[in-house]
Structure 1
Amino acid sequence: MAASSHDLTADAPIAAHPVYGHAPATPRLPALLPGLALSAAIAAGAFGLRQLPGLGMFSPMILAIVAGMALHNIVGTPVRAKPGVAFSMRRVLRFAIILLGLQLTAAQVVEVGARGLFVIALSLTGTFLFTVWMGRLLGVDRKLAELIAAGTSICGASAVIATNTVTRAHDEDVAYAVACVTVFGSIAMVVYPLLPALLHLDAHAFGLWSGASIHEIAQVVAAAFQQGQQAGEFGTIAKLARVMLLAPVVLTLGLLATRRARHGGHGLASAQPPLPWFVFGFIAMVGINSVVAVPAEAKTIIVTATTFLLSMALAAMGLETDFAKLKAKGMRPAALGFTAFLFITSFSLALVKLTT
């Protein structure tokens, strides 16, 4: 979130990390419209693609970033769209994460119970720390390792892009991390429902295991409900409680990034990432949703709007991602994603077995 020396004009390329930085000045609306319209069109197309056979298992966010990358690498992102694309990745993303808080309540956390929260929190913390440590062993760049760690341990693609507001990795790193959590989360979604009988898990235990370890909310729902209503409902609640931990994780990473910047010998103006204030908006929305009864119809609209805005942000991310740069990163990050997936699967299962 460093200050950028690049102007976001229609005839200038976007800075390396304008998404997470402070642009000198936000372009006026006419300059933003082409990029906003393009990002929104891709997001809308992603919602439409989910209606096709076989694609309903993927969230619109995943389909949006894939479509954005395809458009950028086959046709190219129009220069006139650059300012609006950067705005989608920065401002639209933060607003969407704030709205995400309206899907969570303190009551849901209480419903999970002390044991469930223990399993979720320890699985998340253990997976994040293990992934960052393993990334160091495998020689994966620290920023990319943090993104894979966040996506695996918290909530998939939305955690990756939220974490990058303080990690400030390259767009290709974000795309790679999203690809990792999508692939391995999809594997979990297919494999988990085959295992309850073999592992002697009742509906409650299976729901908790699914919610504590599968990457995306949609993947948790798809897997957990295959074992019945009780497993599905508890798995969803456990997953939402896990999503709530996104706020403290991003705040902690932001503080650590600031500390590294202060000891890195760089000027603070260019190196110090400011505190991610949008996280406090997320927390505020959780508080409001906990004390104010939001009508079911309004909540449905909010959930859809939030997913659409997140899809816009990921579509914009895809529009800035080059396949050649992804390929250059090699297979080590993929190996890290697979190792992190195996860790959270086995570690959370052990905790569930020990506490239920």
Structure 2
Amino acid sequence: MLEFNYVSARKPLLLGIGFTFLLALAGYGIALLPGLSQVGPLASAIVIAVLYRHFFGYPEAIHSGIQFSAKKLLRFAIILFGLKLNINVIMDEGVPLLLRDLLVIFFAIGVMMLLAYLFKADQSISLLIGIGTGICGASAIAAVSPILKAKEEDTAISVGIISFIGTVFALIYTVIRPFLPIDAEAYGMWAGLGLHEIANVVLAAEPAGEDGLAMALLAKLGRVFLLVPLSMILIWFMKRKGNGETDNQVSFPWFLVGFIIMSVLGSYVLGPYIPAPQPVMDTIETITSFTLTMAMVGLGVNINLHDLRSKALKPILAVVITSVLLSIVTYAIV
């Protein structure tokens, strides 16, 4: 009897996790369709989640499972994401690369917030998108949203916008590459500095060959590296903003410690001393991506389409302008 009650209590949790799993799987399926492969499973899954909420309502009965995916699995995905960051590569390139990356982050966030102020756009969504534009897209937004105490709806909207805009700009970079008067390495550096997601950088830089792609990833990883110090600054800012009030206290994001540990593990252990087979690393990357997609489904179900129009249009305009200006600035410094 006790075991039956335990299973019954856990049923909403398991069903909710299963719900996000199925919608994430559907997102991956849609991303395989011709013409939609560049959009990616993340954005596809969020759209499916938003449409589900719009037509069928929020599934309150399995709320605990959806929340588990939106919060716990989100942090787990960020920890695994740390394996993508090779600290050695960043340190070898040195100060010049990090200075460029710092410029990109300050420029993206600064311009985005200025435009948000001028357009009277939603400040929370605009800040999240600015951070995503400056660092590494959806992963950066997912990492800082708990620190900023962002609403789940705002996080999902921001991720959806950054995924879509990043893909569009990656395709634009690919189309104009043959007409640019720069070599493959310079183009790769430009893509790594100017584009949002790591996937966007790979998409745009791959046609430039191995040298161009290597330079692009190097520039991009420098921005990912700066996610941790930026998070620490945001923690300090939020604690200062709280002024000691209990409701505004910021708990330390321990998942970032996991992110750092995985980065160190991938940089100094798995590579030099315990070479991991490529199939194993590919499997971990797939798990990371799928887990993050499940988390985005959990967040996406919270989006109300009626509210989306009023909250998203101005931030979209702001991020398009920011992305254009960022592309011009980064092209000038490569």
Could you state the TM-score of these two structures normalised by the residue count of structure 1?
Answer: 0.85
Change (3 A) 1:191 1:112: farther
Q: The residue matched to 1:195 in structure 2 has which SS? A: helix
- The partner residue of 2:278 within 271, 287, 296 is 296
Q: Which moved more, 1:283-292 or 1:231-240?
A: 231-240
Counterpart residue number, 2:39: 58
How much identity, in percent, do the aligned residues show? 32
Q: Is the 8 A contact 1:212 1:239 kept in 2?
A: yes
Q: Is the 8 A contact 2:193 2:219 kept in 1?
A: yes
Counterpart residue number, 2:4: none
The structure with more helix, counted as a fraction of residues = 2
Task: Give CA-to-partner distance per residue, 1:240-272, whole Å, 9 cap, x none.
Answer: 33222222222221221111111xxxx722122
The Cα shift of 1:205 comes to: 0.9
Q: Which moved more, 1:56-65 or 1:171-180?
A: 171-180
Task: Give CA-to-partner distance per residue, 1:316-353, whole Å, 9 cap, x none.
Answer: 1111111111112263222211122122212211221x
Residue correspondences, number: 322
Distance (whole Å) between structure 2 residues aligned to residue 179 and residue 134 of structure 1: 19
Distance (whole Å) between structure 2 residues aligned to residue 53 and residue 39 of structure 1: 24
Counterpart residue number, 1:224: 205
Please list, as runs of the form range in 1=range in 2, the aligned pairs for 1:41-190 lying within 5 A after superposition.
41-110=22-91, 112-190=93-171
> What amino acid maps onto 2:91 in structure 1?
V
Q: Is the 8 A contact 1:251 1:279 kept in 2?
A: no
Distance (whole Å) between structure 2 residues aligned to residue 103 and residue 80 of structure 1: 37
> What amino acid maps onto 1:32 in structure 2?
L
Q: Which moved more, 1:314-323 or 1:138-147?
A: 138-147
Matched, 1:36 2:13: no
Q: Is the 8 A contact 1:190 1:223 kept in 2?
A: yes
The Cα shift of 1:199 comes to: 3.7
Distance (whole Å) between structure 1 residues aligned to residue 92 and residue 186 of structure 2: 14
Q: Is the 8 A contact 1:155 1:243 kept in 2?
A: yes
Task: Give CA-to-partner distance per residue, 1:167-213, whole Å, 9 cap, x none.
Answer: 22333322332233223212211111233454422111111110111
Q: Which moved more, 1:229-238 or 1:316-325?
A: 229-238
The Cα shift of 1:28 comes to: 6.0
Q: Is the 8 A contact 2:43 2:164 kept in 1?
A: no
Matched, 1:195 2:176: yes
Distance (whole Å) between structure 2 residues aligned to residue 137 and residue 119 of structure 1: 27
The Cα shift of 1:308 comes to: 0.8
Q: Is the 8 A contact 2:122 2:311 kept in 1?
A: no
For structure 2, the 5+ residue unaligned runs are: 1-7, 271-275
Distance (whole Å) between structure 2 residues aligned to residue 134 and residue 181 of structure 1: 16
Counterpart residue number, 1:280: 257
Distance (whole Å) between structure 2 residues aligned to residue 175 and residue 274 of structure 1: 22
Q: Is the 8 A contact 1:251 1:275 kept in 2?
A: no
Distance (whole Å) between structure 1 residues aligned to residue 90 and residue 245 of structure 2: 38
Matched, 1:236 2:217: yes
Could you state the TM-score of these two structures normalised by the residue count of structure 2?
Answer: 0.90
Please list, as runs of the form range in 1=range in 2, the aligned pairs for 1:337-348 lying within 5 A after superposition.
337-348=319-330
The Cα shift of 1:142 comes to: 2.5
Task: Give CA-to-partner distance per residue, 1:273-329, whole Å, 9 cap, x none.
Answer: 212121111111111111112332221111111111100110111111111111122
> What amino acid maps onto 1:299 in structure 2?
M
Q: Which moved more, 1:113-122 or 1:222-231?
A: 113-122
